[in-house]
A and B are shown apart, each in its own frame.
Chain A
Amino acid sequence: MIMKIIVPIKRVVDYNVKVRVKSDKSGVETANVKMSMNPFDEIAVEEAIRLREAGKAQEILVITIGTSAAQETLRTGLALGADRAIHVETASALEPINVAKILKKVVDQEKAGLIIMGKQAIDDDSNQTGQMLAALLDWPQATFASKVELSGDQANVTREIDGGLETVTLTMPAVITTDLRLNEPRYVTLPNIMKAKKKPLDTIPADSFNLDFDPRHQILEVSEPPERGSGIVVESVEQLVDKLKNEAKVIQ
């Protein structure tokens, strides 16, 4: 069996940037801000590459849905080691349900055995798309993965849950979403960036899928979070304990 792994990746504001809310409250400032591949998606790409290196997969396809700027993120995915890329071009960002619908159409065409994606995009912090895609495909899912083992048509995935760890056994094809401890992604090297320029990258207009992308949500306003009042620096443990007991009254 020739197994293809699809890795959906998203271009987001880099995790080191402290975003600012626009003064008209329509959103956050993204002009002239450093953009990167969503960190969880880097982990997803890395996992796919390791599975291919281990002989468990033959082809890795990275997909992004977004404006033309998102092609840069696909090139990064190719430089990391993906074989092929698809850019589904949209005029603006779509909600997870619509992203999942497009991904389903692409997956139907491509016949993948496994989809590995991030658990959460660190811009909108939705944590939805993987689960939605799995539902639309009627595939099993393993979210928040910290370990993936494939054998035959089964995937044993260890998941990070609130109480500790859980292992689920999935019959593939399946959707896996990554958590931080799954692996440590490699760095892009210059020779690989050069090689990536020659790898195939296809662009498909989102309109060609005949889906309805009307937003389900209307963003009424984006505002600053409430500020915390400024605190004090105490001089000693003694003073700290005194303040906690007698001023804040949070300990006895």
Chain B
Amino acid sequence: MTVLVIAENDNQLIKPAVLNTLGAASQLSGDTHLLVAGSNAGSVLEQARKLAGVTKILYADAGHFENPVAEDLSRLILSLASEYEHILAPATSFGKNLLPRVAALIDVAQISDIVKIEADDTFVRPIYAGNAMAKIKSRDKTKVITVRATAFESIMDGNGAAPVVENLEAVSPSEKAVVSAQELTKTERPELTSASVVVSGGRGMGSGENFDILEKLADKLGAAVGASRAAVDSGYVPNDYQVGQTGKVVAPELYIAVGISGAIQHLAGMKDSKVIVAINKDPDAPIFSVADYGLVADLFEAIPEITESL
């Protein structure tokens, strides 16, 4: 029995969510192998060599893996799949895009977004925006799984034996799907899904410019900045700020929701945070039902005052 973990990376570094996925893999029986696909990704390989619990690295370095499309990666994984009992990727936009394609090619069902492993074939996952938890037993021979990173500890660097590295022949590029442009949000801040403090703004912020006052607070706290769907739809902040059922899931030590009403779709993405603070001028806003500390106030007064006092 062996577990294969797909190492999402940007050709420089392994994405933090992969480390949590390895944490999940360590709860399953058998060795863990790591697939690193990239282009000139030597530094990723070096990082991978140090990870605890990885016994083998499968390394595929090719020009068209600089920004690999699911059409190509799924065929590469298909060629390896028969060796594995479990195939895991983080439930990031990368993993969500890729793994169902793999599952269909090997003709199995996928188990999305697991938050708990009960046995090698039994998993818990949220459904209905986290309003219910389903415990599922898989009957498939190969279990194809995406992992909710916030629900698992990340694996540390190990000091055990260095893993074996096997070089793989890259599959030929699909000509039917090509990444033609990327427009990545630039930020000096910690990544939203792995930050220990997150400050999120909603429609109550009123405009993109007004997010400045949240940025100032985030600066003081070393926090990432997130948002509700309404704030993204209104164009205040980019799409990758969205926290929720259909955006990113976060579970920081401290989550501060500012001018966010607390719709179930938003709660789905942040209610596992350790400490939740809600700042809203409406005392009946549902966000207060999940908050450890609620402050009924006008955010335009409260936020600068908090920033000032830190």
Pair A120/B182 contact, Cβ less than 8 Å: no
Interface bits B238-267 vs A (CB < 8 Å: 1, else 0)? 111000011010000110000000001100
Q: Which residues of B contact A95 (CB under 8 A)?
A: 109
Name which of A21, A129, A146 has the most chain B CB atoms within 10 A of its CB.
Answer: A21
Q: Which residues of B contact A130 (CB under 8 A)?
A: 100
Q: Check if A15 sits within 8 Å of B292, measured CB to CB.
A: no
A165 within 8 A of B: yes
Shortest distance from the beta carbon of A121 to any chain B beta carbon, whole Å: 10
Chain A residue contacts of B178, Cβ below 8 A:
168-169
Q: Does B25 contact A (CB under 8 A)?
A: no
The answer for the CA separation of A240 and B301 in the assembled complex, in Å, is 14
**How many residue pairs bridge A and B at CB < 8 Å?**
254
- A219 adjacent to chain B (CB < 8 Å): yes
B111 on the A face (CB < 8 A): yes
Contacts of B99 in A (CB 8 A): 131
CA–CA, A152 and B310, complex, Å: 57
Contact residues of A between 13 and 52, Cβ < 8 Å to B: 13, 15, 18-19, 21, 28, 40
In angstroms, how far is the closest chain A Cβ from the Cβ of B274?
Answer: 7
With A166-B181, A171-B175, A231-B276 known as contacts, the answer to whether A128 contacts B133 (CB < 8 A) is: no
Q: Most chain-B Cβ atoms within 10 A of its Cβ — which of A95, A129, A231?
A: A231
Q: CA separation between A215 and B134, bound complex, in Å?
A: 15
Assess whether A13 is in contact with B176, with CB atoms less than 8 Å apart.
no
Are A232 and B302 in contact, with the CB atoms below 8 A? Answer: no
Q: A135-B105, A241-B309 are in contact. Are A156 and B180 (CB under 8 A)?
A: yes
A168 and B69 form a contact (CB under 8 A): yes
| B195 CB-CB contact with A under 8 Å | no
**Across the interface, which residues of B come within 8 angstroms of A217, CB to CB?**
109, 111, 136-139
Closest A residue to B97 by CB, please name it: A143
A71-99 to B contact mask, C-beta < 8 Å, 1/0: 00000000000000000000000011100
Among the 9-residue stretches A2-10, A105-113, A190-198, A244-252, the one with 4 or more Cβ atoms under 8 Å from chain B is A244-252
Report if B188 contacts A (CB, 8 A).
Answer: no
Check A223/B132 contact, CB under 8 A, given A125-B126, A164-B240, A181-B239: yes
Interface size class of A (residues with CB under 8 A): 35 or more
Contact check, A218 vs B136: say whether CB atoms are below 8 A apart: yes
Measured between alpha carbons, how far is A222 from B125 in the docked complex, in Å?
10
Bound CA–CA A238/B104 (angstroms): 55
B104 touches A135 (CB 8 A): yes
Interchain CB contact under 8 A, A232 and B182:
no
- B294 contacts A96, C-beta separation under 8 Å: no
Q: Cβ of A162 and Cβ of B133 under 8 Å apart?
A: no
Contact assessment for A251 and B139 in the assembled complex, using a CB-CB cutoff below 8 Å = no
User: Contact check: which of A159, A164, A225 meets B238 at CB < 8 Å?
Assistant: A164
CB of A128 within 8 A of CB of B127, answer: no
Contact with A along B185-214 (1 / 0, CB 8 A): 100000001000100000000000000000
User: Chain A residue with minimal CB distance to B90?
Assistant: A162
Shortest CB-to-CB span from B218 to chain A, Å, is: 12
Are A219 and B136 touching (Cβ within 8 A)? yes
Q: Give the distance in Å from the alpha carbon of A26 to the alpha carbon of B102 in the complex.
A: 29
Give chain B residues whose Cβ lies under 8 Å from the Cβ of A188.
none
Task: Mark A109-153 against chain B: 1 for CB-CB distance below 8 A, else 0.
Answer: 000000000011011111111111111100111111010000000
A28 contacts B277, CB within 8 Å? no
Indicate if A201 sits at the interface (CB-CB under 8 A): no
Asked if A224 is an interface residue, CB under 8 A from chain B, the answer is yes
Is A65 interfacial (CB 8 A cutoff)? no
Contact with B along A159-186 (1 / 0, CB 8 A): 1111111111111001000011100000
CA distance A219 to B132 in the complex (A): 12
B140 at the interface (CB under 8 A from A): yes
Within 281-305 of B, Cβ neighbours of A (below 8 Å) are at 283, 288-297, 302, 305
Indicate if the CB atoms of B176 and A171 lie closer than 8 Å: yes
Pick the contact of A237: B100, B221, B297 (CB < 8 A): B297
A171 to B177 Cα, complex, angstroms: 7
- Nearest chain-A residue to B302 (Cβ)? A237
Lowest 6 CB-CB distances: which A-B pairs, in order?
A: A140-B177, A131-B100, A216-B109, A132-B104, A135-B104, A128-B100
New A-B pairs, 11, CB < 8 Å, besides A241-B309, A248-B254: A128-B103, A131-B70, A165-B182, A165-B183, A165-B238, A168-B179, A231-B292, A232-B293, A240-B306, A248-B292, A251-B197
Between A and B, 24 residue pairs with Cβ closer than 8 Å are: A21-B132, A28-B131, A96-B100, A122-B128, A125-B128, A128-B100, A128-B110, A131-B97, A135-B105, A140-B176, A160-B93, A162-B93, A163-B185, A164-B239, A166-B183, A168-B179, A217-B111, A220-B136, A228-B276, A229-B292, A231-B291, A248-B254, A248-B292, A250-B253
